A and B are shown apart, each in its own frame.
Chain A
Amino acid sequence: MPRPVDDQKAFTNALLNADCPEPSNVSGPAGTRAGKRFDIYRNNVHCSLIGALESTYPAIQRLVGEEYFKSLARAFIETRPPISPILIDYGSAFSAFVRDFPPLASYPYLEDVAQLEWAWQRAFHANDDPVVTPEMLASVSESQLSTMRFVPHSATAIIVSSYPVFSLFRSNRSGNEGNDKPMEQAETVLVTRPVHAVELRVVTDGSAHFVRALSEGRTLVEAAESCSDIEGFDLAENIQGVLQSGAFRMIELRNRITHSVCA
């Protein structure tokens, strides 16, 4: 009779839970206890996954310290182990985990820094989309302007924070001394990757609103109107900013049947 196939379940449980004894069918040579030999696999699993999180979240690692980061990452791995062999995609839930991690409750800016690091990681590996150039915009005729929409580049993201998230990110990734911005200074960051390098720009609330309105599929006219009440909003400057940042990959000129995708 074939044996029920569950050996790897027992092996997996023992790998992920230090309290779980090693599987009964493994040993050292000549039947000696597996013990430390099994721990090598446990160690490989945890250290390699901690390493993956360290490479995606270096600013968080520096902010909380290397040893603290290891235990934080270990706790994250226990609740949210990777479900894909592509580790560059691992860790999307880390910012929410950091937010909800009780010992870090008095460091609310960590969540925003983690969100920015994740946006950076997504942008770094995003599709090689083209970017809208000033020439493309110039080629749009006046009669087409009312239906013109921008389609966002795969790398584009906006991180809104009540803290100096860009300054915290930059100072803790570059290895420079601490962030010199006061903690109450809010920063909103536009993340783009026009070629191979990820670009971060601190933008005004108006610019963030404008980029978001365009990304959601509003026409240029609608997006401009939605920003008209924002104090100090300069449309020409913002259009130029959008083109410089490479936030959009193409211009669409036809009327869409529905706006449901951007509702």
Chain B
Amino acid sequence: MKNAIQSPPDISGFQPLPIGARAGAGLKPEHVSQIMSDSPDIGFFEVHAENYMGAGGLPHHQLSQIRSSYPISLHGVGLSIGSEQPLDREHLHRLKTLFDRYQPALFSEHLAWSTHDNVFLNDLLPVPYNAEVLDRVCMHIDQVQEVLGTRMLLENPSTYLAFADSTMCEGSFLREVADRTGCGLLLDINNVQVSAVNQDYCPRAYLNDFPIDKVEEIHLAGHAPDQDDEGRLLLIDAHDREVSESVWRLFEEVVKASGPVPTLIEWDNDIPAWPILLQEAAKADLVLTSANRENYFATSRR
């Protein structure tokens, strides 16, 4: 006997959709309807995983619409991979559920921590670079890759402080993490510029030492100038404006040296109208496609 009356659930699975060496944009809810009506030619959209951890509603509806037409990349901001304490298993499983539902082409997280005890601090906090932290980070990445059943990308942080107990440089630390865990790297070139100014080193020297062969995604964003107590320039990783000229130059150099990879424009605060964000992505696309062409000619001449 029938004992419940309700509409059948809607089950729709997504097939994997890879991201090419194109530019993409961070997805903002206020842009979705225009994107769906304009169908812009853009490589991919990236979303912050934690914004889609509600059970349902408009956010999931919008993301499903986008995912039906574009590949997506999933970017976690709350896993606290650099944490001294074990990873939050419940959170990891929420991530797995989201990953299975949307079949993102890429998943990335940060070399940072954001939770202590059970308090979530909602910022990407720095870690010292030494053997002890290296072991911890590698252990956490192994766990993430095991649960998700995929390789993840680890992003270089923007930093404002130096640690007395660091014994290695950031590039060597990231290289070691990638070698040990098999993870890929997300190179945030704005973070390179921000950290280089804040920590007083040369961004080009940093990039020369960076394990560029492990880079599978690039992030570009805008930063805001400030000053420290001694009146020295500080750059704040603000994501609230256009990508700076210095970061565009570094991006061109990286792409020239290593070839094009999926590149994201991040703009999370003072969010502009969609056409402005699309224009930034088009600018990145131009750099990527000209590198593609150069690579093509270089290969065909061989």
Q: Are B116 and A45 closer than 8 Å at their CB atoms?
A: no
Is A223 interfacial (CB-CB < 8 Å)?
A: no
Which A residues lie within 8 Å of B5 (CB)? 132, 136, 139-140, 250-251, 253
Nearest neighbor of B232 in chain A, beta-carbon distance? A28
Is A254 interfacial (CB-CB < 8 Å)?
A: yes
Which A residues lie within 8 Å of B161 (CB)? 26-28, 34, 37-38, 41
Is B9 interfacial (CB-CB < 8 Å)?
A: yes
User: CB-defined interface of A221-253 with B at 8 Å, one 1/0 digit per residue?
Assistant: 000000000000000000000000000011111
Which B residues lie within 8 Å of A85 (CB)? 50, 77-80, 88, 91, 114-115, 120, 122
Interfacial residues of chain B within 59-101, with CB under 8 A of chain A in the complex = 59-61, 77-80, 83-84, 88, 91, 94
Nearest CB of chain A from residue B228's CB, rounded to whole Å: 5
Nearest CB of chain B from residue A232's CB, rounded to whole Å: 30
A127 to B77, CA, bound (A): 23
Nearest neighbor of A7 in chain B, beta-carbon distance? B84
A252 to B60, CA, bound (A): 28
Interface size on B, as a range, is: 35 or more
Nearest CB of chain B from residue A9's CB, rounded to whole Å: 6
Q: Are A37 and B228 closer than 8 Å at their CB atoms?
A: yes
Is A175 interfacial (CB-CB < 8 Å)?
A: no
Interfacial residues of chain B within 213-255, with CB under 8 A of chain A in the complex = 226-230, 232, 234, 236
Nearest CB of chain A from residue B195's CB, rounded to whole Å: 11
A16 to B125, CA, bound (A): 13
A106 to B4, CA, bound (A): 48
Which A residues lie within 8 Å of B128 (CB)? 7, 25
Q: Determine which of B10, B94, B117, B119 lies in contact with A82 in the assembled complex, contact meaning CB atoms within 8 Å.
A: B119
Which A residues lie within 8 Å of B199 (CB)? 29
A8-B113, A40-B160 known; A86 and B53 CB under 8 Å?
Answer: yes
Q: Are A125 and B54 closer than 8 Å at their CB atoms?
A: yes
A26-B164, A29-B199 known; A36 and B119 CB under 8 Å?
Answer: no
Is B163 interfacial (CB-CB < 8 Å)?
A: yes
Given contacts A7-B84, A8-B125, A253-B5, 5 further A-B pairs with CB under 8 A are A12-B117, A26-B161, A45-B123, A85-B115, A132-B6
Partner-B contacts on A (CB < 8 A): 2-3, 5-9, 11-12, 15-16, 24-30, 32-38, 40-41, 44-45, 48-49, 52, 81-89, 123-133, 136, 139-140, 154, 193, 196-197, 249-254
